[in-house]
Amino acid sequence: MTYFEGFVLAVPEANKEAYRKHAADAAPIFLDFGVKRHFEAWDSDVPEGKVTDFRKAVDAKADEKVVFSWFEYPDKATRDSANEKFRSDPRMEELGKNMPFDGKRMIVGGFDAIVEEGAAAGGSYTDGFVVPVPEGKRDAYRDLAARMAKVFCEHGANRVVESIADDVGHGQVTDFYRATKAEDGETVVFSFIEWPDKQTRDDAWAKIMQDESLKPQGDMPFSGQRMFWGGFDNIVDTAKAREPANA
């Protein structure tokens, strides 16, 4: 399955267009290195959580918004090769001189896909999730996620992806483990649902939440209190940029 490099970062709201342009200008370089798809989405409906949330994850300031982003690779070997190129290519050094965000508070990690349902189809809205999962419940989590992925697609989602930590380090300021308050013996899942638009997403969630047959049964294979999620407007998507003009 696909390998993902997942990112969460805080960007000053006033820098939205500068960030979008920075990411769009960098995209061709990333594709040269082997990235199959480069995707960026901007804070739209990101709730505050009691224990964890996207804003806490990156210590977002009052004037900052959250960006949910990823690179897709065909496999980990391609990702590892790309990272070597990132470190040596002079274009990356130039990009790093004028970043419109605080790179020290960006969290990043490599994730193996465990569920992929549907396909990217030029949508405009994305739900992002970060979830702590006990190592011993990986299979149970994957089974639940696979079932729910089909439900989301039946309700209009273009694509659902669940990916589990493979190369996720511990940062000096922030990281995925701290963001979810991961406990000993837990790993982290980076997940997203791609929607045609926000209205389709809102309608789907309303129906799913009212469906009694989808209510949780028994113990969940993850900590719901420490899972966090949010809705994001897509601002850069190289898959969409490659679509035919009449698509």
- In single-letter form, the type of residue at position 207 comes to K
SS3 35: coil
SS3 127: strand
Cα–Cα nearest to 163, from 231, 51, 56, 70? 70
90 vs 22: CA distance, rounded Å: 16
Residue 87 backbone phi and psi in degrees, to 5: -75, -20
Q: Cα 142 to chain center, whole Å? A: 17
76 vs 84: CA distance, rounded Å: 13
Specify whether the CB–CB gap between 100 and 19 falls below 8 A: yes
Q: Write out pLDDT tens, residues 150-208.
A: 999 999 999 999 999 999 998 878 999 999 999 999 999 999 999 999 999 999 999 99
Name the CA radius of gyration of the chain, rounded: 17
SS3 118: strand
98 vs 19: CA distance, rounded Å: 10
Which whole number is the average pLDDT over 208-221? 87
Q: Write out pLDDT tens, residues 113-164.
A: 999 999 988 899 999 999 999 999 999 999 999 999 999 999 999 999 999 9
pLDDT of residue 241: 56
The CATH number that domain 3-236 falls under is: 3.30.70.100
Domain boundaries, the chain: 3-236
pLDDT of residue 212: 87
The pLDDT of residue 242 is above 60: no
